[in-house]
Structure 1
Amino acid sequence: MPKVYPNVLPSPAEAPAAAGPAREDEATTLTVWRKSLLFNCKGFTVFDAKGNLAYRVDSYDAEPAGAEVVLMDPAGRPAFTVRRKRLSLGKQWLIYAGEEARRPVHAVKRGGGGKSMARVAPCAGGGAVASYEVEGSYARRRCVVYNGERRAVAEVQPKEAVGSDVFRLVVQSGVDVSLVMAVVVALDQVFGRPSFLRSWSPWIHSNNFSPI
């Protein structure tokens, strides 16, 4: 089977911006790989349905619980920055637009009551108004993101026969794909065992798989 790599790695001048709200009626399906394509780096590599690079996270942070993760488009432009909230003991992460460091857009907090495993709430002054609830199990790669009207807007699904470090993310039309991917990055920091900043599955290092 072919190795996981983007079909075309565009130059910064040619690369399109990371996906925003979907314009088509069909849902957006991404393959998420908990690995950086850069040597000696940890992070995420995300492919679209055609196998092209859609997003990436590359971190040289050797700490087991890094305080900042940057979600980038294929050219390395920041889409969102995810930072651990101070004094939250890793249970709450803030999402900033781009590299904005002053006002977070959303806060991702563990728990929320009932079936909720996490709540994504808008932050005051950040410009966002929508809130979301995440139900299911991120550790099992089976969780659903609901909006305030209890409509499922995104879902994390396991990808068959490739282990937990590779999974599928399905985002419904009209939803900001970049924001959902940033929420997934935050969920990985809150619920990931181990965190992607710490170690990787030996299976993924010894096997190749197709991103589609």
Structure 2
Amino acid sequence: MQIYNPIPPVKTMVKIYPHLAFPVDSGVVQDKKLMYLTKEQESFTIWMKSLVFHSKGCTVFDSKGSLIYRVDNYNSKSCGNDVFFMDLCGKVLFTLRHKKLGLFKSWEGYNSTGTKFRLKKNFKILPNGSSSSYKVVMGSLIADDDPRSFYKIVNRGSVFAIKDRSGRLMAEVRNKQSEVSGLDLGRDVMTMVVEPQVDHSLIMGIVIAYNLTKCKL
């Protein structure tokens, strides 16, 4: 499924990237499997605004200021059923779907290659009472306790980290600060730092699902 929408010029972008570089031609990438794999630590900017008029979502830029991802939520409510995570050309990379199993709610992500995940809140009590955590189960969506690969999200205040099951840091998201003044650019602008050899499209899909649990999209 592909969704194409015209991207109108947005003047407020300059507040996030004063020297904004507009989208590069992604067609030059030959190996799509390596297209989203980080070679070194990479930084991305998440702007919690959709480029589609009267639509909720967010826009993602790479470290050079090029638009790389976009998310559009066409539901009337911020935490509706289906949300589409796309590349800059409008190709759907993940479809995020709201699920409810008994008393518990979760978000599931699917893509065309069969990758899927489920994100749900972890109700275990953490040592730090001000923290909360979420579990991301990869692959099988039937048994959450199946010892397969999974990630966990630990949230401490305005910063949250994504780690693998061994505790290795995969990515960290925090409020973005101005390079000139060092001041926060606002709650709707965040920096996502992804560690080397990590699929940043999957990480971004998890970040979207996490924000959807909080009805921020």
The TM-score normalised by the length of structure 1 is: 0.75
* Aligned mate of 1:117, from 119, 127, 133: 133
How large is the RMSD of aligned CA atoms in angstroms? 2.8
Corresponding residue of 1:41: 55
CA contact (8 A) 2:69 2:85 kept: yes
Q: How much does 1:90 deviate?
A: 7.3
Corresponding residue of 2:3: none
1:86 alignment partner, SS class? strand
Task: Considering Cα pairs closer than 8 Å and 6+ residues apart, tell me whether 1 or 2 has the greater RCO.
Answer: 1
Name the CA distance, whole Å, in 2 between partners of 1:3 and 1:89: 42
Name the CA distance, whole Å, in 2 between partners of 1:135 and 1:36: 26
Corresponding residue of 1:204: none
With over 3 angstroms needed to count, the CA separation of the structure-2 counterparts of 1:87 and 1:37, relative to structure 1, is same
Task: Please tell me whether residue 185 in structure 1 is matched to residue 208 in structure 2.
Answer: yes
2:201 alignment partner, SS class? helix
Corresponding residue of 1:52: 66
Per-residue CA deviations over 1:105-154 (Å, capped at 9, x if unaligned) read 1110012524351000123289xx521111124xx430111111111111
Q: How much does 1:86 deviate?
A: 3.5
Corresponding residue of 1:153: 170
Per-residue CA deviations over 1:55-79 (Å, capped at 9, x if unaligned) read 0012332124211111101101111
Corresponding residue of 1:106: 117
Amino acid at match of 1:131: F
Per-residue CA deviations over 1:39-96 (Å, capped at 9, x if unaligned) read 2221010000000011001233212421111110110111111111134677311110
2:100 alignment partner, SS class? coil
Larger Rg: 2
Corresponding residue of 1:131: 150
Q: How many aligned residue pairs are there?
A: 184
1:79 alignment partner, SS class? strand
Q: How much does 1:29 deviate?
A: 0.8
Amino acid at match of 1:78: V
Amino acid at match of 2:152: E
With over 3 angstroms needed to count, the CA separation of the structure-2 counterparts of 1:111 and 1:155, relative to structure 1, is same
* Aligned mate of 1:65, from 40, 62, 79: 79
The TM-score normalised by the length of structure 2 is: 0.74
Corresponding residue of 2:191: 168
Q: How much does 1:178 deviate?
A: 0.4
CA contact (8 A) 1:15 1:75 kept: no
With over 3 angstroms needed to count, the CA separation of the structure-2 counterparts of 1:145 and 1:64, relative to structure 1, is closer
* Aligned mate of 1:20, from 36, 45, 51: 36
Name the CA distance, whole Å, in 1 between partners of 2:77 and 2:27: 34
1:179 alignment partner, SS class? helix
Gaps of 5+ in 1: 197-212
Name the CA distance, whole Å, in 2 between partners of 1:125 and 1:65: 21
CA contact (8 A) 2:75 2:81 kept: no
